[in-house]
Each structure stands twice: as structure tokens, then as C-alpha cells.
Amino acid sequence: MRRHLEEASLSASGSGDDSILAIFEQAGAILHGHFLLTSGRHSGSYLEKFLVLQWPQHTERLAAMMANHFRSQNVEVVAGPTTGGVILAYEVARQLGTRGIFAEREDGHRAFRRGFSISPGERVLVVDDVLTTGGSVREVVDEVRRLGGEVVGVAVMVDRSAGQIGFGAPLFSCLQLNIPSYSPEACPLCRAGLPLVKPGSSGQSSTT
């Protein structure tokens, strides 16, 4: 069942087997082509996370991995960025028995709106779906800290950065995929003349 992702190294972080990867493969969530990521980088593989998140049983299982990893950290709030982070923040919070909130983009940064708040000293777990450059997660982390909250950890469904991104807090991923991405200037897919697809413009949602 496993397909090669541009010679990518695939490993399940925290699970010890391929069962989490199988969820994405069975959902048809691993796409191949020439994609423009939210970060501006290009990639030959793209994770359509909403094909996984549409299934409550898969979302529950992935959220349980995140919740159980940080259960001993006395998490008081779970926060995620829009859009996929909304679903995960709610489910992880449900399993931890805490509030689940989300940060929306506002004037070039992430902000907690709709009456959501972080109290000084509150222990916050930041969650998101797919981690590539970490931009969306970092915006949430920065906003939590700006409000005086303590970020006790970051949890994501998939880390495609090969563990190379730090947030000044422990990072946990349900699945780690080392999938290459390229700057537009150095993209071999551009040089090969493959059409560039912007996820979201063809019914797909963008990665982070």
C-alpha cells in the first residue's frame, strides 16, 4: 500500500508502526503532483488533511495520541489555528476535559476573537494538522505568549519538516514524513514544466 513520496523517509512518530500512515493512505489524503504550499514553497506531494478529518473515528484516534502525550502536563486550554486546527483543538480539548479555542488571521497575524481569551499563566497546548514551515503554529504560539499564557507543548497530526522546526516547547507528531519541498527558484518540478496547483483553488485546502 505504501507509495514512495519523492524518496521520502516515512516513519510513525510515537506509534511504532505504519497504522497512522495507513489512515492517510486509505483516506486518499496523500496526493502527488506539483503543489504550491501556503508557505510559498513547492512540493511534489501534498497532504489533504480534511480527507482524514472528515472521519470522526480517525480524528478521535489522532487527537487521543496528542492528548495522551501531554496528559501529564496539566493542560488548561487547547488552541489551534484556523482551519484544521479548529477541529483538532476541539477534539483534543474534549479528551483532556479543557476548553478548546482557535486563533484566526487578523491584520497579518493570528488573534483569538469571538470572546476567546488566554489568562496569564494559563497552560496551553497548541495543536495543528500539518506542519511544514511552522508559520501558522508559530503565530498561535506567539499570540499565546503575548497574552501571558504558558505553551506546554505543540502537537500536530503530521510533521513534514523532519523534526527540524522548534517552538521553544516540546513537539509531538502522530506521524513524521520527510517530504521534500522547494523554493520556487530551485524547484525541479518547475524546471520539468509540470503544472503548478494551488491547493484550495481546486476544492482542496492548503497545508501549513
pTM above 0.85, yes or no: no
Domain of residue 147 covers: 10-23+35-191
Which pLDDT score is estimated for 161? 82
Residue 200 inside a domain? The answer is: no
Secondary structure in 3-state letters for 36-103: ECCCCCEEEEEECCHHHHCCHHHHHHHHHHHHHHCHHHCCCEEEEECCHHHHHHHHHHHHHCCEEEEE
- Domain membership of residue 136 (yes or no) is yes
Q: What is the pLDDT of residue 36?
A: 93
CATH number of domain containing 108: 3.40.50.2020
pLDDT tens sequence across 83-95: 999 999 999 999 9
Q: Give per-residue pLDDT as tens, 170-199.
A: 999 999 888 888 999 999 999 999 999 998
Examine residue 205 and state whether it is found in any structural domain, yes or no: no
Domains of the chain: total? 1
Write down the pLDDT at residue 160.
85
For residue 115, being part of any structural domain is answered with: yes
pLDDT tens per residue, range 48-62: 999 999 999 999 999
